[in-house]
Amino acid sequence: MLSQTGDILATLIAFDTTSRNSNLELIQWVEAYLAEHGVAATRVPNGDGDKANLYATIGPAVEGGVILSGHSDVVPVDGQDWSSDPFVLSEREGKYFGRGTCDMKAFIALALAAVPLFVKGAKPVHLAISYDEEVGCTAVLPMIAEMAERVPPPRLAIIGEPSMMTIVNGHKGIATFEVEILGHEAHSSLTHLGVSANMEAAKLMHALVGLAGELEAQGDPDTPFVPPHATLTIGRMEGGTAGNILARRAWFLFDLRCPPGIDAAAVIPPFAARVEALDGELKARFADAGARLTRRSNAPPLVPQAGGDAEAFVRQLTGDNAPAGAVAYAAEAGQFQRGGFASVICGPGSIEQAHQPDEFIAIEQVERGAGFMVRLAEALRG
Query: Each residue of 326-356: pLDDT tens digit?
Result: 998 899 999 999 999 999 999 999 999 999 9
Q: What average pLDDT score do residues 315-335 get?
A: 90
> What's the pLDDT tens digit per position in 220-253?
988 999 999 999 999 999 999 999 999 999 999 9
| Among the four given CATH numbers 3.40.470.10, 3.30.70.360, 3.40.710.10, 1.10.630.10, the one describing domain 173-299 | 3.30.70.360
CB 156 within 8 A of CB 313: yes
Confidence of residue 324 (pLDDT cuts 50, 70, 90): confident
Residue 307 has pLDDT above 90, yes or no: no
Distance CA 214, CA 271 (A): 13
Which pLDDT value is given to residue 208?
98
> What's the pLDDT tens digit per position in 250-303?
999 999 999 999 999 999 999 999 999 999 999 999 999 999 999 999 999 999
Confidence of residue 365 (pLDDT cuts 50, 70, 90): very high
Residue 1 has pLDDT above 80, yes or no: no
Which pLDDT value is given to residue 251?
98
pTM of the entire predicted model: 0.91
CATH class belonging to 2-171+301-380:
alpha beta
Side-chain-side CA neighbours of 356 within 13 Å: the count stands at: 12
Q: What is the mean pLDDT of the chain?
A: 96
Domain boundaries, the chain: 2-171+301-380, 173-299
Q: Long-range CB contacts (< 8 A, 24+ apart) of 208-214?
A: 208/232, 208/234, 208/254, 208/271, 211/267, 211/270, 211/271
Residue 382 has pLDDT above 80, yes or no: no
Confidence of residue 320 (pLDDT cuts 50, 70, 90): confident
Which pLDDT value is given to residue 308?
85
Which pLDDT value is given to residue 323?
84
- Is 173-299 the same fold as 2-171+301-380? no
